[in-house]
Structure 1
């Protein structure tokens, strides 16, 4: 990728997958479809492999998985990342207050880099998805670029207010009602957003810890917008993202990718 900053991938994998339990392994390793070489069908392909491959194609040379204690099957499966032609490191979740705090666990290692961020239980079907975000960030110098797509059920996603010039005015995490039909599912952000998130999470840590609720990345994005950071969006097709976090959606993914 044509960017002056090193590119790294950041994958929060500390969730409990309560909607899919009981499972005999981490949901990130659920087999969905098969790898292939030309017309030859290869080995079963696990859910998180789709994201790892997309980040590698987007220019990432280093990936960080943020894990919950006990999810040792993930590093056992992906190893050092050499089979994906990149380096993979693993960190343990610190504060159990949601994906932003998991992502911030890697702050020291990613603070001066361009970050590719995605959820390992959301499958990206768009070829070169992250490459498009990196190109948009280089073009606009936005603090954050989001991959957005049309959804039928906005209450299950972080909805965005997308303008015709690609700018995003607001992010609404899983709203009860929404006029927007667009949501985001993956991102590319610069050191300016990494720094903002790090400071913001420290600022609200006490209130979050007493609330008993988890914070979403969408809520941090909205706070960043309100504090003057610039967020852009790249629009993808309606069927470009598929969340496998529920049994119904997992079944759809198995059918689609098998």
Structure 2
């Protein structure tokens, strides 16, 4: 099942009119979140649960049933939450026991089918509890750096957004460091180990099995607020999951950084037709 948390308050981009998830993008005015729906559909993920607040009625009004993008979208309305982690947990009773594919509705990317290699790694690997789709880090936008246990992925493609034809190997993840507000890109460290140029990878999407769903539920019950910015983000929870013994791996899904449209800088780039923040 695909799950899209969209109950936030756009704290990083205040003052906007309407929900950023359905902001119309050039050249044809397609809503931002349609990008996530299309990516899920490419992997055959047709059942999507989108979690929204009551004040975000413009999201179902814009996306409807999702049939325009080959999926079926159901909306779960929730009270305000402290961030994506708590938003996801509001769907616990709906997704427990299922394989979950997470899409963040304000991320744009150049790759067309990022979820198929993640699902393949989750189902055929040596027992991962979650597989994250990783992208090259951008000097333009902050993101959560991923530190791999061993050699990080390598890029051998010269075509934008493309990767080699052979499947990308899932690399075990050692740590994830949530981005600190105001911290310059490439400045972070994870568990005391510097993230050098070859380790500059950030996660942007994920798939996981029931143990990860249960772990998120337990984190919410414990009330662990892990995000540096006061918004309960997923990077810290993924990092704590690694520390608790869950197996997380990363698969490179693009040779281009993603574009986070939920920031003023990202919006400005998206309005020019860009789908990557660049390096």
Per the shorter chain, which TM-score range? 0.7 to 0.9
In 2 relative to 1, CA 161–212 (structure 1 residues): closer, same or farther, beyond 3 Å? closer
Matched, 1:146 2:165: no
In 2 relative to 1, CA 212–185 (structure 1 residues): closer, same or farther, beyond 3 Å? closer
In 2 relative to 1, CA 212–135 (structure 1 residues): closer, same or farther, beyond 3 Å? closer
User: TM-score, normalized by length of structure 2?
Assistant: 0.79
Match of 1:244 in 2: 261
> How far has the Cα of 1:238 moved from its partner?
4.2
Residues 90-146 of structure 1 show CA distances to partners (whole Å, capped at 9, x for unaligned) of 112346211011011111111121111021111122121011111111221310100
- Larger deviation, residues 246-255 vs 107-116: 246-255
Instruction: Give the number of the structure whose residues are more often strand, by fraction.
Output: 1
Aligned with 2:210 (options 188, 191, 201): 191
Q: Secondary structure of the residue that 1:59 maps to in structure 2? A: coil
In 2 relative to 1, CA 238–101 (structure 1 residues): closer, same or farther, beyond 3 Å? same
Residues 77-99 of structure 1 show CA distances to partners (whole Å, capped at 9, x for unaligned) of 11222223322111123462110
Alignment partners' CA distance in 1, 2:17 and 2:24: 12
Unaligned runs of 5+ in 1: 1-7, 35-42
Structure 1 residue runs of 4+, over 4 Å off?
none
Alignment partners' CA distance in 1, 2:274 and 2:204: 19
In 2 relative to 1, CA 218–19 (structure 1 residues): closer, same or farther, beyond 3 Å? closer
In 2 relative to 1, CA 212–144 (structure 1 residues): closer, same or farther, beyond 3 Å? closer
Alignment partners' CA distance in 1, 2:97 and 2:79: 21
Matched, 1:26 2:26: no
Aligned with 1:65 (options 46, 50, 53): 50
The answer as to whether partners of 2:37 and 2:71 remain within 8 angstroms in 1 is: no
The answer as to whether partners of 2:261 and 2:267 remain within 8 angstroms in 1 is: yes
In 2 relative to 1, CA 168–28 (structure 1 residues): closer, same or farther, beyond 3 Å? same
In 2 relative to 1, CA 229–94 (structure 1 residues): closer, same or farther, beyond 3 Å? farther
The answer as to whether partners of 1:159 and 1:171 remain within 8 angstroms in 2 is: yes
Aligned with 1:47 (options 8, 32, 53): 32
Aligned residues: 240
Match of 1:132 in 2: 117
User: TM-score, normalized by length of structure 1?
Assistant: 0.85
The answer as to whether partners of 1:33 and 1:257 remain within 8 angstroms in 2 is: no
Q: Secondary structure of the residue that 1:256 maps to in structure 2? A: coil
Alignment partners' CA distance in 2, 1:84 and 1:214: 30
Alignment partners' CA distance in 1, 2:124 and 2:76: 32
The answer as to whether partners of 2:138 and 2:257 remain within 8 angstroms in 1 is: no
Q: Secondary structure of the residue that 1:249 maps to in structure 2? A: helix
Match of 1:5 in 2: none
